[in-house]
Amino acid sequence: MASDPDSTGKAGVVVAPPECSALEKLSHSVLDDLLYNIVHDLVLNVHREEKMARARTAAIRIEKMAADASESSTPDSRPDVRIETDAAIYEDNRVLLKGNPLKTTKDILCPRCHLPRLLQPTDGKGAKKQDPSIIYCKKHPYIEKAGHDIYGQTWVAPGPGRGKKKKDLEKKLDGADPSSPAAAAEGTIKDRPAHVLSFPSATCSKCKRCILVTRLNNHMGACIGNSGRNASRTAAQKISNGGSNGGSQNNDNTPPGSQRGTSLPASRAASPRKRDGDEFDEDADESDPTNPKKKKLKPTTLTRKVVLKKAPSAAGTPLAATKKDKVKTSSMLNMEQKIDADDGKDLTVQVASKKVMPGKGGHLQPRS
């Protein structure tokens, strides 16, 4: 700690008043040092990220120049040329930095697509107009704007629900968005900007009907479950009987049926698919028993699958389960119990009562 009585810590921000005890001065200077350290750590993290990104940019740029300069037709082999820029030297198939990349390199290239990164969001907090002449990497800074998501999207606000009141809570969570064009959205789809989305529909895997997403759960309850209300009756019964579920947990943790989904009607033209299911009545017990459920649901558009190039070493993990692995058990994984072999010699006693293990219904334990 500095010996000068008037000084404080390294940040020089938290300063003790002149007339105070040595202890007070010390505590001020400790606090000041801690503040310095917090700022130091934050700055260091940003510095690392930024400087490394610029250094990589210098490397990407000069490698591209080297590749262009060499006439080699094999793109994978590293070209045998020497190139020098203000930021780096390409020599013997290696990239060497010249000077400080924070000074020599002003922009950041994406290490994947090699296009420049957009450095400011296009909307909301800290937004800046992007240069239309530049093709940027598609990874943009996330948008921070009330009522919008990280991509600047909003949704057509729920209109009058089917007899259900809009929850105050939802308003609170979504944040008020006075600028939302939602009010005018119904029926004026053409005027809707691209960033205003509506709720989509999905195909029921059993009856293949097209159902508005907000009704999908209710539909499947009727269509697949055919027991939507039965099951909830069973559940209610279970709660009152104190029956167990999951073999590991007591019903008292379960918040009984809370918020039912708020019906959110989407604008009509939103879905390109047929919309006959849109009018599906959630209260109708309209299952189709003739429809076989063997038909496997497949992703609709996925043709090429993205897979990591470098398949991680299989730490003994079996590959995808095969057909015969289809095991239906009311499994109770958590209750796997065994006597520890290492401590077998200590095995002089046995636990008599079936105690509730901590972590599993722990509050029921007979704890002191």
Among 85, 137, 166, 177, binds another protein (CB under 8 A): 137
> In the structure encoding, which two tokens stand for residue 212, read together?
């508005």
SS3 of 197, please?
strand
Among 58, 95, 109, 223, binds Zn ion (CB under 5 A): 223
Between 19 and 327, CB nearer to another protein: 327
Please give the Cα distance from 210 to 175 (Å, whole number).
Answer: 31
> In the structure encoding, which two tokens stand for residue 149, read together?
């998501």
123, exposed or middle or buried, with CB in 10 Å at 0-12, 13-18, 19+? middle
Among 139, 161, 162, 265, binds another protein (CB under 8 A): 139
Strand (E) or helix (H) holding 212: strand 210-212
- Which of the residues 22 through 51 are near another protein (CB under 8 A)? 30, 33-34, 36-37, 40-41, 44-45, 47-48, 51
- Which of the residues 283 through 312 are near another protein (CB under 8 A)? 293-299, 302, 304-312
Among 157, 206, 267, 280, binds another protein (CB under 8 A): 206
Task: Please report whether residue 171 would count as binding another protein according to CB under 8 A.
Answer: no
Question: Which residues lie across from 90 on neighbouring strands?
Answer: 83, 95
Task: Please report whether residue 354 would count as binding another protein according to CB under 8 A.
Answer: no
Among 177, 224, 278, 288, binds another protein (CB under 8 A): 224
Q: Shortest Cβ distance from residue 322 to another protein (Å)?
A: 8
Task: Report yes or no: 146 and 176 within 8 Å, Cβ to Cβ.
Answer: yes
Please give the Cα distance from 20 to 14 (Å, whole number).
Answer: 14
Please give the Cα distance from 187 to 29 (Å, whole number).
Answer: 65
Task: Please report whether residue 258 would count as binding another protein according to CB under 8 A.
Answer: yes
β-strand pairing of 196-197 with 154-155:
parallel
Please give the Cα distance from 2 to 26 (Å, whole number).
Answer: 9
Please give the Cα distance from 288 to 9 (Å, whole number).
Answer: 75
Among 137, 197, 213, 239, binds Zn ion (CB under 5 A): 137
SS3 of 152, please?
coil
- Which of the residues 80 through 119 are near another protein (CB under 8 A)? 88, 93-100, 102, 110-113
- Which of the residues 175 through 194 are near another protein (CB under 8 A)? none
Task: Please report whether residue 208 would count as binding another protein according to CB under 8 A.
Answer: no
Listed residue (119, 173, 185) closest to 149, CA to CA: 173
Q: How far is CA 297 from CA 41, 203, 208, 213, in A?
A: 50, 10, 10, 17
The interface mask with Zn ion, positions 202-221, x = CB under 5 A, is --x-xx--------------
Task: Please report whether residue 110 would count as binding Zn ion according to CB under 5 A.
Answer: yes
Task: Report yes or no: 154 and 180 within 8 Å, Cβ to Cβ.
Answer: yes
Task: Please report whether residue 87 would count as binding Zn ion according to CB under 5 A.
Answer: no
CA 99 to chain centre: 38
Q: Which range in 45-53, 65-73, 132-140, 239-247 contacts Zn ion by CB under 5 A?
A: 132-140
Task: Report yes or no: 235 and 254 within 8 Å, Cβ to Cβ.
Answer: no
Among 13, 20, 52, 69, binds another protein (CB under 8 A): 52
Between 22 and 307, CB nearer to another protein: 307
Task: Please report whether residue 58 would count as binding another protein according to CB under 8 A.
Answer: yes
Between 72 and 250, CB nearer to another protein: 250
Count of residues that bind another protein according to CB under 8 A: 166
Task: Please report whether residue 150 would count as binding another protein according to CB under 8 A.
Answer: yes
Residue 171 binding target from Zn ion, another protein, none, CB below 5 to 8 Å by type:
none
- Which of the residues 6 through 25 are near another protein (CB under 8 A)? 9-10
Which amino acid is residue 345, in one-letter code? K
Interface residues with Zn ion (CB under 5 A)? 110, 112-113, 137, 204, 206-207, 223
